[in-house]
Structure 1
């Protein structure tokens, strides 16, 4: 326990201050009255004037000094203890000052005031002598020492309680700050996740729509059937983008009435490629994947291919896109999206968030993403994802 640093006492309200002062007076009144009884029995008439005037006046001054006991605890406690020499009524005030000082839990200060209080009690016998029957010295010392010990014990207990309450309050405040920091971090992570999901869902569709609209804008020699096909592709792509947007918003709003869309997976890649071809992209898919990857691995693979197609539609309209997938369980899943040089001029603005989102996804799975231009002015996007052998792992666990 550290007793060098005293805790700052809490600020007392008006009622708390009042009842403490009343308690100090209540302790001193019985002692004062008993002293008056002794004076009457011993016929100490010459001390009656001081007993009825000086003793209460000194006690009143000491009571007023208690108002400063939190600013000057040692000074007030020592002064009141010395004043109790000439005022029996101030004994309760001295004990309250000692109790207040003990809440600081400083042994040196407490020892000084206790010593002053016990000495003052012995000197007070010269003003108010005890009855004529002899009283042992140890009794004269034990009574003030016992009362001072009780006051010190109460003060130490109050001080320990204050330290405990302050510690609990600091812990609660620290826990609230940590909880607020975790909540802010969770909100930031959720915003990033929502942003990636919105980009993955909408960027592909909107890019295909923008590509088809660009063909209509630049080519004036299209036949009526070709125009209808492109317009129908724009309409269908817009509707699909809206539907996917509603699906994402339904998930964010926890809308249970809407059926949940199937999650992206490796099995849905042919569907993704077919949609890209229907929108005018020249896409070829080659896969030599053996085995069925996990849902998380299949979803990441789907998003990589989707981002590659989106970037090809944005920056290389009319180019040929070749998608290659290969890998097996226990090794790696390798994805390659290569596009030839653009046939038309790309006008769709680039956000740059798609590749950043992919890099974050692969970092979470321990994969690696690479993308760079090719010597023939095309572009190559490659990714390597670890593919653990779940069946072998489960078999190993069962054997163990």
Structure 2
């Protein structure tokens, strides 16, 4: 449509000038010229596939068709959108040359009196305008394409971050559920195994084990409710405080009531940071859980040591099992993996391996930075 609007005034002007001449306009400008222009407009439909060839063909055809001038300028504009200097120069030169031959196809009185440089400058300026429009359109397309690709990339990154956040949240929930339930359920399983295999227990000892099973089960349910309450709570609501170093003696006492023979040695001087204490509690909890699962009846030695400005050490060692399992407890494989993640996030090191006597040892070292906020002595 744009090509027709541009070409129509040129064709009508040429037709009017030739009518004023003695020979008249002739049949070519009335029939042949429009047919050539129609062919050029049709060929332009394939200009995106073969831009240079189509532009040169239309430009050459415009030599014998005034009505094809708009098609030639549109082809030149289309080549300009590609922003390739060699192609633009070739088509522009062909357009300027075509205008010179067009003056001979349609001789108009007085056209020979026009200065030669004007006959070159005017077509060159017209071609320059068409090329400028094309270059601007091409730059705009590139910018829009870049913005679209950037938006799609940002959307992909957003989806990836959302998927990663969901995976991290699932892992966090799984780790918290494991930390909360594995220890309690392992103690319950161990106590139930003792009741099933020990026929020499007195009635009082049976009652103690049954009461301990009931208490451990009740505590497991309470801790499970706390975890579920955190998951269902509002995002802005603060989470309940997590157990830290000061809860380790309670953890050991619960395990002793459940039947484990635990020797705790606490040589820590000072009060470690909250993150270090919380990681220490989870390490001891997981180690006691594994000892209850895989070494019932064994002596378990828990050693804590460290001071501000150095490292915080945790060591849990158990001997071989002295009681037989009623059934081999299931192993999830997530406990030590979760500990490794916790300790790696804290910047520490974890080592665990079986001992030659059939036992197992787990050691961990956590950095204890020299911070004034955490250098005060532990309260009694």
Structure 2 length-normalised TM:
0.91
Partner of 2:339: 358
Structure 1 residues 147 and 24, CA gap change in structure 2 (3 angstroms): same
Partner of 2:362: 381
Partner of 2:30: 52
Q: Distance in 2 between matches of 1:325 and 1:283?
A: 13
Q: Distance in 1 between matches of 2:216 and 2:44?
A: 83
Partner of 2:168: 189
Answering whether residue 81 of structure 2 is matched by residue 81 of structure 1, we say no
Structure 1 residues 70 and 261, CA gap change in structure 2 (3 angstroms): closer
Counterpart contact for 2:272–2:374, Cα < 8 Å? no
Per-residue deviation, residues 331-375 of structure 1 (Å, max 9, x unmatched)? 111112222332201332333321222122222222222223344
Measured after TM superposition, the shift of residue 26 of structure 1 is: 0.6
Q: Distance in 2 between matches of 1:172 and 1:393?
A: 47
Measured after TM superposition, the shift of residue 207 of structure 1 is: 0.4
Question: What SS does structure 2 have at the residue aligned with 1:326?
Answer: strand
Structure 1 residues 169 and 142, CA gap change in structure 2 (3 angstroms): same
Partner of 1:349: 330
Correspondence for 2:79 among 101, 113, 120: 101
Measured after TM superposition, the shift of residue 280 of structure 1 is: 2.1
Point out the more displaced range, 267-276 or 297-306.
Answer: 267-276
Counterpart contact for 1:250–1:258, Cα < 8 Å? no
Partner of 1:296: 275
Q: Distance in 2 between matches of 1:257 and 1:212?
A: 40
Q: Distance in 1 between matches of 2:235 and 2:203?
A: 43
Partner of 1:277: 256
Structure 1 residues 142 and 44, CA gap change in structure 2 (3 angstroms): farther
Measured after TM superposition, the shift of residue 292 of structure 1 is: 0.7
Counterpart contact for 2:271–2:374, Cα < 8 Å? no
Q: Distance in 2 between matches of 1:101 and 1:79?
A: 13
Measured after TM superposition, the shift of residue 230 of structure 1 is: 1.7
Measured after TM superposition, the shift of residue 209 of structure 1 is: 0.5
Per-residue deviation, residues 52-86 of structure 1 (Å, max 9, x unmatched)? 11111111111111111111211111111111111
Answering whether residue 18 of structure 2 is matched by residue 39 of structure 1, we say yes
Map 1:225-304 onto structure 2 (within 5 A): 225-255=204-234, 260-304=239-283
Answering whether residue 353 of structure 2 is matched by residue 372 of structure 1, we say yes
Counterpart contact for 1:205–1:240, Cα < 8 Å? yes
Counterpart contact for 1:288–1:327, Cα < 8 Å? yes
Measured after TM superposition, the shift of residue 101 of structure 1 is: 1.4
Counterpart contact for 1:198–1:248, Cα < 8 Å? yes
Per-residue deviation, residues 231-290 of structure 1 (Å, max 9, x unmatched)? 222222112112212222222233589995431101111211121122222223221211
Structure 1 residues 77 and 260, CA gap change in structure 2 (3 angstroms): closer
Number of residue pairs aligned between Structure 1 and Structure 2: 372
Counterpart contact for 1:209–1:238, Cα < 8 Å? yes
Measured after TM superposition, the shift of residue 376 of structure 1 is: 3.9
Measured after TM superposition, the shift of residue 118 of structure 1 is: 1.1
Question: What SS does structure 1 have at the residue aligned with 2:350?
Answer: strand
Point out the more displaced range, 58-67 or 355-364.
Answer: 355-364
Partner of 1:174: 153
Measured after TM superposition, the shift of residue 43 of structure 1 is: 2.9
Across the aligned residues of Structure 1 and Structure 2, the Cα RMSD in angstroms comes to 2.2
Point out the more displaced range, 173-182 or 248-257.
Answer: 248-257
Partner of 1:13: none
Measured after TM superposition, the shift of residue 147 of structure 1 is: 1.1
Structure 1 residues 36 and 182, CA gap change in structure 2 (3 angstroms): same
